[in-house]
């Protein structure tokens, strides 16, 4: 066999093994990202989906946050406007976690209809504002004005 042929066969073998490893790792660690409506529809269509790892993006229902006496267990409800379900999170919540905040919870839907969250992320609206807009609201700012 020519050296070029050996090189091409070796290269194809390395690429196929690398591709297989990438595909299998994505399959093992991949997580669905859904809204409450999508999760409810998926659970109705496939009841065995109950124990699948899921990330849910939604908004905390105002007035639904309950904190346990120890301070490390939270019970609240999330919604996307159409569907609502309860969430239980055990751990330290972010400082930005309050009523009506957008959250992403990771975990599994329990058979009782309560989402058992293992991770809680809360969006901080002030950090996502457009910086120039922040300055437009200050007194003395004129749009398009330049300093000499």
Q: Quick one: which of 145, 148, 91, 144 has its CA closest to 121?
A: 91
3-state SS string over 69-136? CCCCEEEEEEECCCCEEEEEEECCCCCCCCCCCEEEEEEEECCCCCEEEEEEEECCHHHHCCHHHHHH
Kindly report, residue by residue over 49-108, the tens digit of the pLDDT.
Answer: 887 889 999 999 999 999 988 778 999 999 998 999 999 999 988 888 888 899 999 999
pLDDT at 132 over 70: no
Cα–Cα distance for residue pair 32/105, rounded to 1 Å: 12
* CA max distance for the chain: 79
Q: Quick one: which of 38, 66, 72, 68 has its CA closest to 52?
A: 38
Cα–Cα distance for residue pair 34/54, rounded to 1 Å: 7
**Pair type for strands 32-34 and 54-60:** parallel
Burial class (CB in 10 A: 0-12, 13-18, 19+), 140: exposed
Cα–Cα distance for residue pair 133/143, rounded to 1 Å: 10
User: What integer pLDDT is reported at residue 77 of this predicted model?
Assistant: 95
Check: CATH 2.40.50.140 for 30-124? Answer: yes
Kindly report, residue by residue over 5-54, the tens digit of the pLDDT.
Answer: 999 999 999 999 999 998 888 776 777 889 999 998 998 998 888 878 89
Query: Cα(first)–Cα(last) distance of the chain, in Å?
Result: 75
């Amino acid at each position: 066999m020519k050296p070029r042929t050996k090189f091409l066969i070796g290269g194809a073998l390395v690429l196929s093994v690398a591709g297989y490893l990438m595909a299998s790792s994505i399959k093992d660690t991949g997580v669905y990202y859904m809204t409450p409506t999508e999760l409810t529809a998926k659970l109705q269509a496939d009841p065995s989906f109950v124990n699948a790892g899921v990330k849910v993006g939604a908004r905390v229902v105002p007035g639904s946050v309950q904190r346990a006496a120890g301070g490390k267990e939270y019970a609240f409800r999330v919604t996307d406007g159409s569907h609502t379900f309860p969430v239980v999170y055990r751990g330290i919540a972010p400082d930005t976690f309050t009523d009506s905040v957008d959250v992403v919870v990771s975990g599994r839907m329990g058979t009782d209809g309560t989402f058992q969250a293992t991770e809680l992320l809360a969006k901080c609206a002030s950090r996502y504002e457009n910086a120039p807009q922040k300055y437009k609201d200050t007194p003395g700012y004129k749009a398009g004005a330049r300093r000499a």
